[in-house]
Amino acid sequence: MLSHEVNESMTRVGRGTPAGELLRRYWQPVAAEAELADDNPKLRIRALGEDLVLFRDGSGRLGLVEEQCCHRSASLFYGFVEDDGIRCPYHGWKYDCTGACIEQPFEPKDSTLKDRVKQRAYPVETLGGMVWAYMGPAPAPLLPRWGQLLREDGVRGIYVQPVLECNWLQVMENSVDPCHTYYLHAHTLMLKGKGNYGAYYYRPIEKMHFEIVEEPNWVGVRKQRIYGGDKAEEEEGHPVIFPNYLLSPQREHIVMHMRLPVDDTHTKVFRYQFTPTVDGSRVEQPVPVPVAYMPPIKDADGAYHMDNFASHDGMAWETQGPITDRARENLGTTDAGIALYRRLLRDQIKRVQDGKDPLGLIRDPQLNEYIDIPVSTGQARVAREGGSVSA
Ligand code: FES
Ligand SMILES: [Fe+2]
């Protein structure tokens, strides 16, 4: 059970809030590169409670600027993308990718006003087909080079989920809550006559292990399930990568769930999927990485259809409330992973408040050549064998 004050400090993401300041120390996934169309390369982005516009100028540079123009606050989303920046649709002020104002068409020629104003802008980088933003204080750490983004022995795709109507921490806590898979996923699908889809999880969980992992180039919580019954198995485990990623085996795929805190009560999930070739052979990688949009988790009448994992999880997270009230919960032994994750989160908030880097930031390029994070292989084996581990 947590006090209202602690709950607020762990969940709110705005500038100046404890968790908001922590999350701003890490690069955040804001879009798939393929979402920036060639003929209209701009996107409206909401991240950490801030309204932003992502654009690619005519020279191929990416910019991420505050949506409201610093002149008189019209939206730059309706602006004109030009060779060297984006021009506001209202009076034509133009900003480059760093937010510098480079033109004010109707100010006097000798005016210094444009040198005295600046549009808020954030550094952006691309890697693995994703666009990443750094919204914290300079100097930015290195963008992590996870193997999931770099490896070439398979096929990758980015699947964007409909924006969830709940706080980011509910989504993350689910990822250190491994016994939820039995009823929420496997049992639900079994009752719907789709048992094969959840069969891997339809086994008695005998034990669960959790540990905080602290490597030089990432931190997180690794969880491991030990299944009993006639299909007993000890998983190798798979991790939450702090602060807002899950790396998870899903049948023959390895999926990195990238959870962007949109604002206090909305979360956007990019499901970054990699499917390794069985023999380890290299695959030609399309540029940009293809992107697709996942279907709604609810029916037209607003009820969760509960036909797939995304709908199950979305139901659980959203029905906990926009920001769940952790003062009313009663944690059990199965919630040990949640306790570990919260401790990690609170410790990192404290480090930032003390003026230190939180754990998991990378500033040494040698630690960032290729970050390999292993995951359980049981699901891939089951998929190769033709499906079910459970009767
Ligand atoms: S409001 Fe943008 S140029 Fe005036
Ligand atoms: Fe789940």
Contact 172, 239 (CB under 8 A): no
Range 221-249 average pLDDT: 91
The residue among 387 and 80 whose pLDDT is bigger is 80
Nearest protein Cα to ligand 1, atom 3: 91
Q: Which of 67, 91, 113 to mutate to test the pocket of ligand 1 (most atoms within 8 A of CB)?
A: 91
Q: Which of 82, 90, 95 to mutate to test the pocket of ligand 1 (most atoms within 8 A of CB)?
A: 90
80: amino acid identity, one letter: F
How far is Cα 258 from Cα 237, in angstroms, rounded to an integer? 19
Distances (CA, A) of 211 to 1, 15, 217, 243, 351: 21, 31, 17, 15, 20
Report whether residue 52 contacts ligand 1, using a CB cutoff of 6 Å. no
* Residues 283-338: tens digit of each pLDDT: 999 999 999 999 999 999 999 999 999 999 999 999 999 999 999 999 999 999 99
Which stretches does DSSP call E strand in 228-336?
233-234, 238-241, 245-250, 253-263, 266-276, 291-293
Top-confidence residue, 195 or 16: 16
Please state the CATH superfamily assignment of the domain spanning residues 27-133 in this structure. Rieske [2Fe-2S] iron-sulphur domain (2.102.10.10)
Question: pLDDT by residue (tens digit) across 253-291?
Answer: 999 999 999 999 999 999 999 999 999 999 999 999 999
Q: For 355-359, 376-380, 386-390, which range has the lowest pLDDT when averaged over its residues?
A: 386-390
CB of 389 within 6 A of ligand 1: the answer is no
Instruction: Determine whether the shortest distance from the Cβ of 72 to ligand 1 is under 6 A.
Output: yes
**Residue ranges of domains in the chain:** 27-133, 147-384
Q: Is the ipTM of this complex over 0.90?
A: yes
pLDDT, mean of residues 4-32: 98
Q: Is the distance from the beta carbon of residue 86 to the nearest atom of ligand 1 less than 6 Å?
A: no
pLDDT digits (tens, 9 = 90+) for 189-212: 999 998 777 888 888 888 889 999
Q: Is the CB of 114 inside a 6 Å radius of any atom of ligand 1?
A: no
Does the beta carbon of 361 lie inside 6 Å of ligand 1? no
pLDDT at 391: 37
pLDDT at res. 387: 60
Q: Whose structure tokens read 């034509």?
A: 92
The bound ligand whose nearest atom lies closest to the alpha carbon of 71 is 1
Both tokens assigned to 258: 């990238």
| Residue environment code for 128-150, b if the CB has 16+ CB neighbours within 10 A, otherwise e | bbbbbbbbbeeebbbbbbbbbbe
Mean pLDDT for 106-117 is: 97
Q: Does domain 147-384 have CATH number 3.30.450?
A: no
- What's the mean pLDDT in 104-119? 97
Average pLDDT, the chain: 95
Which-ligand-closest: CA of 76? 1
Residue type, 271: R
Going by alpha carbons, the residue nearest to atom 1 of ligand 1 is: 72
